[in-house]
Amino acid sequence: MATLALRDITKSFGATHVLHGVSLDVAEGEMIVIVGASGCGKSTLLRIVAGLETETSGAVVIGGQDVTGLEPADRDVAMVFQNYALYPHMSVFGNMAYGLKIRGLPKPEIERRVGEAARLLGIEALLERRPRQLSGGQRQRVAMGRAIVREPKLFLFDEPLSNLDAKLRVQMRAEIRRLQKRLGVTSLFVTHDQVEAMTLGDRLVVMHQGHAAQIATPMEIWAKPADTYVAGFIGSPAMNFIPATLGHGGHVATLAGGLALPMPGRMGTDGQGVTIGIRPEHLRPGMGGLEAVVELVEPLGSEAVLHARLADGSPLTARLPGILHGEGRLGLVLPLESLHIFDAASGRRLESAG
């Protein structure tokens, strides 16, 4: 168990700049989930922490020790990959014991550690099997076991659940969460799945094109996204964005259709373009708000997702309780306390200046 600090990590592959200065402080025992779209640099960042990739600049500090430049084997971290990478010719026991044998641990110690990890993971009965005789979920447990027996300072997970079917994913996700809390090992978990991120992480790093767009708890990110990228990425269905212009000394935002929304305070200067964000679940049927034409209704049982269009043709999604929502015209109210206001030019979240 250890702290981890990333100090202004950059990485370029030739002329391709992949990471643009990522900094992060992780507390002992904390589970950090790195989430972002494909290609944003998640795996590259994780591999730099593991020592499998060399940073262009910056430093990695594990447990107060600067490990920049150290070989992977000297960093005391264990990585679990998407494809498990189990040795096909070895038994489950052999796979879990291999790293410890290489390090020359005595046999009784190896047996103790493998036995303990197998018990923890519920795979004691499988120790003699080969990987091909296991289900996907069981293989994933073996891959976890191999990381656990090393008793590392850090766990690094790179999309370890993406080869599993939806149901097993949910189950393994809960299992990893429980194990990580129980073992108390500081962990980085990479995923592009926002639900996985929200449910697993003590804190999330939302990455966007090689930057950390926001680092905060899942609820903070959901309630106060730092910019329109984070706002649109976290939450399902995605947040609606509506362009507007500030007036009345920055105290009112007026939409293209003429609807004037009082702001919680002075949000900027008159004439400034802003983006109003509203989550689909915060829209309510009613008059005096937006006029939308519902084009498609997705019933989800106790609620329904409505895909609609505003008069200017821009799309709007609403998630409403109840089942019977027909297509056609619908009035939707924007509760003022649920609005997110962003600067149209920079995309940054705006807070009221009084």
Ligand X SMILES: Nc1ncnc2c1ncn2[C@@H]1O[C@H](COP(=O)(O)OP(=O)(O)OP(=O)(O)O)[C@@H](O)[C@H]1O
User: Looking at beta carbons only, is 192 or 325 nearer to Mg ion?
Assistant: 192
Smallest separation (angstroms) from ligand X to the CB of 277: 25
Whether omega for the bond prior to residue 72 falls within 30 degrees of 0, making it cis, is: no
Query: Which residue of 4, 26, 42, 205 would you call a contact of ligand X, by CB under 6 A?
Result: 42
Which partner in ligand X, Mg ion, none is near 118 (CB below 5 to 8 A by kind)?
none
Tokens of 41: 């640099």
Amino acid at 180: Q
Q: Which does 184 bind (CB under 5 to 8 A by kind): Mg ion, ligand X, none?
A: none
Decide whether 41 or 137 has the Cβ nearer to ligand X: 41
CB 131 within 8 A of CB 142: yes
Instruction: Supply the minimum distance, in Å, between the C-beta of residue 190 and ligand X.
Output: 7
**Partner interacting with residue 87 (select from Mg ion, ligand X, none; CB below 5-8 Å by kind):** none
Q: How many chain residues touch ligand X (CB under 6 A)?
A: 12
Shortest Cβ 328–ligand X spacing (Å): 40
Q: How many CB atoms lie within 10 A of CB 221?
A: 27
Residue linked to tokens 């309510």: 284
Query: Which residues inside 155-194 make contact with ligand X, applying CB under 6 A?
Result: 192
> What is the smallest separation between the CB atom of 48 and ligand X, expressed in angstroms?
9
Between 37 and 223, whose beta carbon lies closer to ligand X?
Answer: 37
Q: Is 16 in the site for ligand X (CB under 6 A)?
A: yes
Binding to Mg ion (CB under 5 A): which residues in 26-45?
A: 43
> CA–CA separation, 71 vs 227, rounded Å?
37
Beta-bridged to residue 260, according to DSSP, are: 254
Minimum CB separation of residue 87 from ligand X in Å reads: 24
Cα–Cα distance measured from residue 337 to residue 318, given in angstroms and rounded to the nearest whole number: 17
Determine if 83 is a binding residue for ligand X (CB under 6 A). no
Residue 302 contacts which entry, ligand X, Mg ion, none (Cβ below 5-8 A, type-dependent): none
Partner whose footprint covers residue 13, from Mg ion, ligand X, none (CB < 5 to 8 Å by kind): ligand X
Nearer to ligand X, 36 or 131 (CB): 36
Q: Which of 39, 122, 264, 328 binds ligand X (CB under 6 A)?
A: 39
Smallest distance, ligand X to C-beta of residue 140, A: 17
CB of 53 to ligand X, least distance (A): 8
Smallest separation (angstroms) from ligand X to the CB of 227: 18
Binding ligand X (rule: CB under 6 A), the pick from 1, 8, 13, 69 is 13
Binding mask 315-344 for ligand X (x = CB under 6 A): ------------------------------
140 touching ligand X, by CB under 6 A: no
Residues forming contacts to Mg ion in the complex (CB under 5 A) are 43
Residues forming contacts to ligand X in the complex (CB under 6 A) are 13, 16, 18, 36, 38-44, 192
